[in-house]
Structure 1
Amino acid sequence: MSAAGIAARAEGLWKQYGEGDAAVVALAGVDVELKRSEFTAIMGPSGSGKSTLMHCLAGLDTVTRGHAFIGDTQVTGLGDAGLTKLRRERIGFIFQQFNLLPTLTAEENILLPLTIAGRKPDREWLNTVIDTIGLRDRLSHRPTELSGGQQQRVACARALVGRPEVIFADEPTGNLDSTSGAEVLHFLRSAVDDHAQTIVMVTHDPNAASYADRVIFLKDGQITAELAKPTADAVLDQLKTLDRATGGR
């Protein structure tokens, strides 16, 4: 695939924490391409390196060796100013913790990244995002007046409002009940299908992964398998295979 069709990629990516006998290898030579306008899930046993891979791709963590790219921009080697600009202008983030500011309304939280960057919102796109999350009647409410699912949808809208090239979501349904989690996953799915957004999601939940176009599986810091058009059952079967291969660790 041409570089124009790739939102993010890793080339020979290694990440080691610590030195000598205390060294822990989190990523061991990962090569992966994540396509634009696609929903990719990253899965694997605890400690497999899935969150580390996402953090290295997004410039939230440094790499030991190898290269990470957002589009054609090499993330590895960027200075602090370059990383800040990249994350502010081209990347969106959704985390397990909603990270909403309690003193701001839902609308103010959604607009916060643009406010910090000194950018005016595209009102047409803002309206599209608000309608997609289905919270137009809650925009003046503060986070304490919203359910967990509503707060996470506000966090999703905040990630989308700047029209980033790629949105990284780290366990976005991890703190939600099944109903609220499904609402958030439907929103992410529609962001890809209706608005050509690119989503990369780390999850441990086979049902959440079934919303993706493609699932990448890691074990011991390496990609060991992938599934296209996954079902929850197929994802669960693959996870059981990985678990058996690690002796149930």
Structure 2
Amino acid sequence: MVTTPAVDETTGAGGPSGAAARADGVTKAYGAGDTQVLALDQVSVSIERGAFTAIMGPSGSGKSTLMHCLAGLDSVTSGKVWVGDTEITGLKEKNLTKLRRDSIGFIFQAFNLLPTLTAAENITLPMDIAGTKPDQEWLDTVVNTVGLSGRLSHRPNQLSGGQQQRVAVARALASRPAIIFGDEPTGNLDSRAGAEVLQFLRKSVDDLGQTIVMVTHDPVAAAYADRIVFLADGRIVDEMIDPTADKVLDRMRGFDAQGRTS
């Protein structure tokens, strides 16, 4: 079972090896006074290194907001967030940008590939912009893991949707970030292509030791994770270890029933 590491107050890291990311009492509010909306309400969560964590919840539960705060894409109203041993709350924008570039990978629902570049050029683009050279051995491992060896010279319009998302996955993995965040990464794919991408994400955890956090509404997608964190009304209300699609679906139906009776 996944456990939350004890907090080391001197470093802000969780336990000897620390967590890949951690939120401590995070609140995110929009508006003020009577019109204030709490997207997150005193959320504390620890993301284990080398594991696949899914974040689920009803629409408006705060799952994407939590991911954006953990990834440093959005600021918090109160509380603290760490990526590895670095507290990112209050970090200067220049330093936050560098941390995101060096330590975090992103996979979004939209593939966000440049149409004029080949698959290989799209994969290495963030490193090219940063002026760093990829580790060729690692890059070859990533390309083989996601099954793109025969597609590197193709441009996005020559690839299927599933292949384009695999390019996006490889791009996120290529710089060997400490953690990868995926926001509905299979949302624009059919079931077969979505399953392919999820298998590659699972494989990147199992074979490459990657850490992945994925927001999804899909019980089948969530079942690929090691652990699911459930949110409702801006709070963590449950978690599930070693999920199956049926167990996740039952839990989500429970949320729907609670919503109808509340």
Task: Specify the TM-score bucket, using the shorter chain as the normaliser.
Answer: over 0.9
| Residue 131 (structure 1) shift | 0.3
**C-alpha spacing 1:248/1:206, structure 2 compared with 1 (3 Å):** farther
| 1:93 equivalent in structure 2 | 106
| Residue 135 (structure 1) shift | 1.1
**In structure 2, C-alpha distance between the alignment counterparts of 1:248 and 1:45, rounded to whole Å:** 15
Listed one character per residue, the Cα deviations across residues 26-85 of structure 1 (whole Å, up to 9, x for unaligned) are 000000000000000000000000000000010000100000110110111111101110
Match of residue 227, structure 1, among 236, 240, 249: 240
Query: Bigger shift: 75-84 or 201-210?
Result: 75-84
| Residue 22 (structure 1) shift | 2.2
**C-alpha spacing 1:46/1:136, structure 2 compared with 1 (3 Å):** same
| 1:212 equivalent in structure 2 | 225
| Residue 98 (structure 1) shift | 0.4
| 2:87 equivalent in structure 1 | 74
Residue 50 of structure 2 aligns to which amino acid in structure 1? Answer: S
Match of residue 188, structure 1, among 174, 181, 201: 201
| Residue 18 (structure 1) shift | 1.3
User: Is 1:168–2:214 an aligned residue pair?
Assistant: no
| 1:153 equivalent in structure 2 | 166
CA RMSD of aligned residues (A): 1.1
**Which secondary structure does the structure 1 equivalent of 2:256 belong to?**
helix
Q: Which TM-score applies when normalising by structure 1?
A: 0.98
Listed one character per residue, the Cα deviations across residues 200-238 of structure 1 (whole Å, up to 9, x for unaligned) are 000000000000000000000000000000000000111
User: Is 1:118–2:131 an aligned residue pair?
Assistant: yes
**In structure 1, C-alpha distance between the alignment counterparts of 2:153 and 2:67, rounded to whole Å:** 33
**In structure 2, C-alpha distance between the alignment counterparts of 1:60 and 1:248, rounded to whole Å:** 35
**In structure 2, C-alpha distance between the alignment counterparts of 1:10 and 1:37, rounded to whole Å:** 18
| Residue 21 (structure 1) shift | 2.5
| 2:252 equivalent in structure 1 | 239
| 2:143 equivalent in structure 1 | 130
Residue 182 of structure 1 aligns to which amino acid in structure 2? Answer: A
Identical pairs, percent: 65
| Residue 248 (structure 1) shift | 7.4
**In structure 2, C-alpha distance between the alignment counterparts of 1:65 and 1:41, rounded to whole Å:** 24
**C-alpha spacing 1:144/1:132, structure 2 compared with 1 (3 Å):** same
Match of residue 116, structure 2, among 91, 103, 106: 103
The answer for unaligned runs of 5 or more in structure 2 is: 6-14
* Equivalent pair of 2:109/2:184 in contact (CA under 8 Å): yes
Matches within 5 A, 1:37-52: 37-52=50-65
The answer for unaligned runs of 5 or more in structure 1 is: none
**Which secondary structure does the structure 2 equivalent of 1:26 belong to?**
strand
| Residue 151 (structure 1) shift | 0.4
**In structure 1, C-alpha distance between the alignment counterparts of 2:219 and 2:112, rounded to whole Å:** 25
* Equivalent pair of 1:16/1:27 in contact (CA under 8 Å): yes
Query: Bigger shift: 1-10 or 53-62?
Result: 1-10
| 1:143 equivalent in structure 2 | 156
| Residue 137 (structure 1) shift | 1.0
* Equivalent pair of 1:3/1:72 in contact (CA under 8 Å): no
| Residue 17 (structure 1) shift | 0.9
**In structure 1, C-alpha distance between the alignment counterparts of 2:194 and 2:166, rounded to whole Å:** 10
Listed one character per residue, the Cα deviations across residues 97-151 of structure 1 (whole Å, up to 9, x for unaligned) are 0000111110000001110111001000000000011111111111111100000
| Residue 162 (structure 1) shift | 0.5
* Equivalent pair of 1:9/1:69 in contact (CA under 8 Å): yes
**C-alpha spacing 1:207/1:248, structure 2 compared with 1 (3 Å):** farther
